[in-house]
């Protein structure tokens, strides 16, 4: 009985999966064109919009083989910059989606706006990172209804590899950038509540995104 008691009181170990993303093996492109490349001297996967992509497609994702992420951490190196011919509103939107639904329209995500990081405009700098919860809670709705709450500043350079870490626990999530010990953005009320879903790498319109060295740790 003593041995059984000890077994029951040992906390469950976290389960970690790593994805170097040096090839396309095991991943699936959704509404993006994906290719294994070398960017800034490091191997990774590049994502761009397909030619003639329809406006309003927000679930531009590279889906990882992680089906049941609920709580835990996601770490990655990501890079974003506006593509050739992108509109003036393009910011190089690049990020990580979690709890992605089966139809991919439903997900929570944190993303970067790299061209805002060193803009000569404080308001733009304040919009360097963003939380969204699709399909209902777009960045524009969040900014209108609860301004400043779901965005923050961090130093960013377009096209450069940037380390990010997302920690998710119930209805709370934290975004850490550049390996900093303190979070860049804190969300205490994930808009779709607590549930399990997939993990995806996300780009916004007019973006060339690169991703590598992803680690998903499930609690």
- Give the start-to-end residue ranges of the domains of the chain: 19-49+57-218
Those residues whose C-beta lies under 8 Å from the C-beta of residue 113, and which sit 6 or more positions away, are: 91, 92, 93, 127, 128, 129, 130, 156
Mean pLDDT score, 6-20: 69
Considering only 2-11, 121-130, 163-172, which range has the smallest mean pLDDT? 2-11
Q: What angle do CA 116, 148, 32 make, to 5 degrees?
A: 50
Those residues whose C-beta lies under 8 Å from the C-beta of residue 100, and which sit 6 or more positions away, are: 59, 61, 63, 106, 107, 197, 198, 199, 200
43, 65, 171, 175 from 188: Cα distances, Å: 35, 27, 6, 12
Report the predicted TM-score, pTM, of the whole model to 2 decimal places. 0.92
In Å, the largest CA–CA distance within the chain is: 69
pLDDT, residue 55, reads 63
CATH topology of domain 19-49+57-218: Jelly Rolls (2.60.120)
pLDDT by residue (tens digit) across 135-156? 999 999 999 999 999 999 999 9
Kindly write down the DSSP assignment for every residue of 106-136, as one continuous string: -EEEEEE-GGGTT-S-HHHHTTSEEEEEETT
Mean pLDDT score, 148-167: 98
pLDDT, residue 7, reads 41
């Amino acid at each position: 009985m003593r041995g059984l008691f000890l077994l029951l009181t040992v906390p469950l170990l976290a389960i970690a999966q790593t994805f170097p993303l040096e090839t396309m093996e095991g991943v699936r492109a959704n509404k993006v064109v994906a290719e294994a490349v070398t960017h800034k001297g490091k191997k990774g996967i590049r994502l761009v919009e397909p030619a003639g992509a329809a406006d309003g497609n927000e679930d531009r994702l590279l889906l990882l083989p992680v089906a049941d992420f609920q709580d835990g951490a996601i770490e990655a190196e990501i890079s974003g910059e506006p593509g050739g011919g992108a509109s003036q509103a393009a910011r190089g939107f690049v990020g990580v989606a979690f709890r992605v639904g089966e139809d991919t329209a439903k997900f929570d995500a944190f993303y970067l706006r790299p061209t805002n990081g060193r803009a000569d405009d404080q308001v733009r700098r304040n919009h360097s990172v963003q939380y969204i919860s699709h399909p209902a809670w777009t960045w524009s709705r969040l900014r209108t209804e609860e301004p400043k709450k779901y965005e923050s500043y961090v130093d960013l350079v377009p096209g450069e590899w940037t380390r990010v870490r997302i920690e998710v626990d119930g209805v709370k999530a934290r975004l850490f950038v550049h390996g900093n010990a303190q979070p860049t953005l804190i969300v205490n009320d994930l808009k779709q509540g607590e549930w399990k879903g997939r993990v995806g790498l996300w780009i916004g319109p007019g973006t060339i995104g690169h991703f590598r060295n992803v680690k998903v740790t499930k609690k």
